[in-house]
Amino acid sequence: MNLSDKQQTNKALLEKIAQLSGIDPSWAVAIAMTESSLGLNQKSPTGCLGVFQMSGIAMKDLMQAMESNQDDVIDILCGVAFLYLLLKRHGSIEAATIRFCDPADRDFYWDRVQQYMKDIYAY
């Protein structure tokens, strides 16, 4: 099967994330291909969006699982997705970080994050 550049990029990203999550990458890619042609058709007539055509009901289920601490994988995936969104929106780790926390804690929070980055990763 010939895939466009966009489809190949989405497929590679999806395979990595699926593998890290313990999901069979071929299954995840097949679902995404069925739902949106791996991102070529990202809006359905029913209002579902994205590579997986996630509905509001599906997103609600994810949020409920996070809120009840049922699954660390869901929590981590959603958290990383939110960090990605903040970074894309604000352009730097510092700007994204200060929007991740309560505004009253921004200076303290950014300092702590920087320290952990240095302590854990010699950043």
pLDDT tens string 108-119: 999 999 999 999
> What's residue 118's pLDDT?
93
Task: Give the Cα separation of 59 and 75 in Å (integer).
Answer: 13
| pLDDT at 50 exceeding the cut of 80 | yes
Interior CA angle at 77 toward 53 and 89, to 5°? Answer: 80
Name the residue ranges covered by the structural domains of the chain. 1-54
Give the global pTM. 0.72
Tell me the per-residue pLDDT of 61-90, one tens digit each, with 9 for 90 and over.
888 877 887 777 777 788 888 899 999 999
